[in-house]
Amino acid sequence: MGIHNADVADAFDEIGDLLAIEGENPFRIRAYRRAARIVRSLPRELAEMRGPEEYDAIPGIGEDLARKILELIRTGHLQALERLRREVPPQTRELLALPGLGPVRVRALMRQLSVRSRSDLERALAAGRVATLPRFGAGLESRLKEAIAKREPGAARRLPLSVAAQYAGPLREYLASVPGVSRVEVAGSFRRGRDTVGDLDLLVSASSGTKLFAALKRYPDLRELSASGTTKASGVLRNGLQVDVRVVAPQSFGAALHYFTGSKDHNIRTRRLAQERGLKLSEYGLFRGSRRLAGQTEEGLYRALGLSYIPPELREDRGEIEAAGRGALPALIERSDLKGDLHVHTNASDGVDTLERMVAAAQAQNLSYLAITDHAKHLGIVHGLDSERLARQGQAIDALNEKLRGFTILKGAEVDILEDGRLALPEAALERLDVVVAAVHDHFGLSEARQTTRILRALERPCVSILAHPSGRLIGEREPYAFDFEKVLEAMSGRGGCLEVNGQPSRLDLDDGHIQAAIERGVPLSIASDAHSADQLANLDGAVRQARRGWARSQDVLNTRTVSGVRALLRRR
């Protein structure tokens, strides 16, 4: 049984929840929660690393958590978690699945109302006692009553795309290794690159007699095989992710891939287009009567419908069908178009690797420049740079640049936008930099008006180059903060500056709708890894995919330009 990063992160999150229910030290709880976020965003599987010495080097892990990671990967169990599960009864843990009930509220229910199970909660709700507790209220009481009445713990779970990828990749490889299988593709929202995935759809082309579903039943990550027929099997992985596997004939593979990739609305529109032309479109092909016109490839299918090929990322019914009919689809940005990365951290602040190591990794990624944007000193940034340390880092960059050939390091910083819109470093320090990445890292609960004013004031500073991870969201953990995006676009289109598409797997921020809006207003994008280690430069792949979902072309992105082009644009700012 393979242990994935997502399994380790889930274990640390559960430990954090159970410690919070028991009222343990908040610092200890935060350490587990932070470690869970870090592990989820790692581009490499922990199981592929060398062990505790490499785990310990990851910021936010440390020796104790490194030992726990090793224990979980080697044994599939974690004694610390199993002890907590014995101390907190299963009936109490089930309360965490109810809407609005985090560990702090569960603890309040236990201590003040002696609620330790759903039935206890049901009685407390019927007596009207829950709404009287601090931080509960009538709204939450109503939602809890509704959830209990339905006997449903909450909405269907959707996993971040990066987490789903940890399961989709190995499953695809496993099915491809089955004798007789010639092709396996993952379709659905995963192929479209949506930021969250509800299930996995896999299409398989195999020769007659292939024992595909018998092999699937033996897959180590499969918890149960719920249904199995001659051409389709459904199951659930250990992490609860639903999996559907379909065997498709070669002559229908393109049609099936189209059908199981597109959103519901995209598929409705393409079927309607076929009907308008007297044709029938299904997962088996495009037909005129009983004659198949297309279906073996997606390209042939779209061509037979009179459309240019629509990349999977665009298949959301947001105008792509009309554009494909006019031959007006954009040439979407490719990873190979990127010439640099303008948001990268080193061990001078909260990164892992040295300046030299980050440069070597960027060169290996075929980049020609890198902006070092370590955190400025501010609350919550333990090793943030003040003006003096930033100046010393600039000297080290100058010295290294003199030795490099065909590669340029840009001086930069990631600077917090304070609550009143000021920046966390003085103007004199920032004016010496090539790139200033400004970001909101706290006070997420400000009103929309105050948050917007805060951001606009920061953008007025001529030194600000890029607004980083503009919505502040963490997928599945934190909703975007409230701000007027249209006002920010208006300010940036008038004054210059770029909006970032952040490739950290927990962020993927901006979202696709905001990316499209920025492009329409002529606001340039900066596709960034936000790498805190050399291997996290691979986050650029996710950022490019996110930009493609927003219809971004190469010319819409700042860091597809040469370093001289980037400097020229930033100087105009």
Q: What is the CATH number of the domain that holds 59?
A: 1.10.150.110
Average pLDDT, the chain: 90
User: pLDDT tens for residues 113-170?
Assistant: 888 888 888 888 888 888 888 878 888 888 888 777 765 544 456 888 988 998 999 9
pLDDT in tens, 58-76: 777 888 898 899 999 888 8
3-class SS at 508? coil
Phi and psi (nearest 5°) for 286?
-105, 125
d(CA 114, CA 2): 39
Residue 39 and residue 133 in one domain: yes
Q: CA 420 → CA 428, 446, 484, 512, distances in Å?
A: 19, 11, 16, 29
Phi, psi at 116, each rounded to 5°: -130, 5
Q: Note the pLDDT tens digit of each residue in 452-482.
A: 999 999 999 989 999 999 999 988 778 899 9
- Tell me how far apart the alpha carbons of residues 235 and 255 are, in angstroms, rounded to a whole number: 24
Q: What percent of the chain has pLDDT above 90? A: 61
Query: Rounded to whole angstroms, how far apart are CA atoms 61 and 36?
Result: 9
Instruction: Return the closest-CA partner of residue 393 out of 422, 417, 414, 379.
Output: 414
Q: 549 pLDDT exceeds 50?
A: yes
Domain assignment present for 176:
yes
Q: How confident is the model at residue 525 (pLDDT cuts 50, 70, 90)?
A: very high
Last residue of a domain, one of 219, 247, 275: 247
Mean pLDDT: which of 197-211, 323-337, 463-477, 485-499 is highest?
323-337
Q: Write out the two tokens for 543.
A: 């950022």
Nearest residue to 190 via CA among 202, 179, 178 = 202
For residues 206 and 130, membership in a common domain is answered with: no
Spatial distance between the Cα atoms of 467 and 514, rounded to a whole number of angstroms: 13
Task: Determine the 3-state secondary structure of 436 from DSSP.
Answer: strand
341 vs 130 pLDDT, higher one = 341
DSSP element (H, E) containing 40 = helix 26-41
Q: Are residues 277 and 143 in the same domain?
A: no
CA 281 to chain centre: 33
Largest CA distance in the chain: 76
Residue 203: beta bridge partners?
185, 246
Place of tokens 């952040």: 502
Which of 47-56, 266-275, 369-378 has the largest mean confidence? 266-275
Q: Would you give the DSSP letter of residue 417?
A: B
* pLDDT at residue 88 is higher than 90: no
Work out the average pLDDT over 445-455.
95
pLDDT at 104 over 50: yes
Residue 252 in any domain: the answer is no
pLDDT recorded at residue 153: 47
∠ CA(546), CA(548), CA(550), 5° rounding?
80
**Domain at 288, CATH number:** 3.30.210.10
Question: Are the CB atoms for 503 and 529 separated by under 8 Å?
Answer: yes
Question: For residue 402, with 0-12 CB atoms within 10 Å meaning exposed, 13-18 middle and 19 or more buried, which class applies?
Answer: exposed
Q: Is the pLDDT of residue 379 over 60?
A: no
Q: Is 474 a member of any domain?
A: yes
235 contacts 225 by C-beta, under 8 angstroms = yes
Asked, for residue 366, whether it belongs to a domain, the answer is yes
Whether residue 435 is found in the same domain as residue 413: yes
Is 306 found in the same domain as 378? no
- Do 218 and 171 share a structural domain? yes
Residue 99's nearest CA partner among 120, 118, 123, 86 is: 118
Task: Report the C-alpha gap between 103 and 83 in whole angstroms.
Answer: 17
pLDDT above 60: residue 241: yes
Determine what percent of the chain is predicted with pLDDT higher than 70.
Answer: 97
Q: Which residues of 185-210 are buried (b: 16+ CB within 10 A; e: fewer)?
A: bbbbbbbbbbbbbbbbbbbbbbeeeb
Examine the fold and report which residue of 94, 127, 150 is the final residue of a domain before the chain moves on.
150
How open is the CA angle 423-425-429, to the nearest 5 degrees?
A: 130
Residue 1 has pLDDT above 70, yes or no: no
Q: Are residues 545 and 416 in the same domain?
A: yes
Residues 376 and 467 in one domain: yes
Write phi, then psi, for 195 (nearest 5 degrees).
Answer: -70, -20
In this prediction the pTM is 0.82
Domain span holding position 357 = 335-572
**What is the domain count for the chain?**
4
Instruction: Identify the pLDDT of residue 119.
Output: 83
Per-residue pLDDT tens over the stretch 168-180? 999 999 999 999 9
Q: According to the model, what pLDDT value does residue 416 have?
A: 94
- Calculate ∠ Cα 98-101-107, nearest 5°: 125
Contact 143, 99 (CB under 8 A): yes
* 398 and 542 fall within a common domain: yes
Q: What is the model's pLDDT at position 150?
A: 65
Query: Looking at residue 464, which CATH number applies to its domain?
Result: 3.20.20.140
The answer to whether residues 133 and 52 belong to one domain is yes
Asked if residue 128 and residue 195 are part of one domain, the reply reads no
Instruction: Compute the distance between CA of residue 523 and CA of residue 515 in angstroms, rounded to an integer.
Output: 9
Residue 46 inside a domain? The answer is: yes
pLDDT exceeds 70 at position 382: no
Task: Confirm whether 255 is domain-assigned.
Answer: no
Q: What is the CATH number of the domain that holds 222?
A: 3.30.460.10
- The pLDDT value given to residue 155: 47
Burial (Cβ within 10 Å: 0-12, 13-18, ≥19) of residue 278:
exposed
Question: What is the pLDDT at residue 378?
Answer: 72
Query: What are the structure tokens assigned to 82, written together?
Result: 């199993």
Same structural domain for residues 15 and 72? Answer: yes
Output b/e per residue, 129-146; b: 16+ Cβ within 10 A.
bbeebeebeeebbeebee
- Inform me whether the pLDDT recorded for 438 exceeds 90: yes
Residue at a domain's end among 213, 247, 281: 247
Burial tier of 310 (Cβ tally within 10 Å: 0-12, 13-18, 19+): buried
The SS3 assignment for 197 reads: strand
Do 517 and 485 touch, CB atoms closer than 8 A?
A: yes
Q: Examine residue 256 and state whether it is found in any structural domain, yes or no.
A: no
CA dihedral angle for residue 544, residue 550, residue 555, residue 558, rounded to 10 degrees? -60
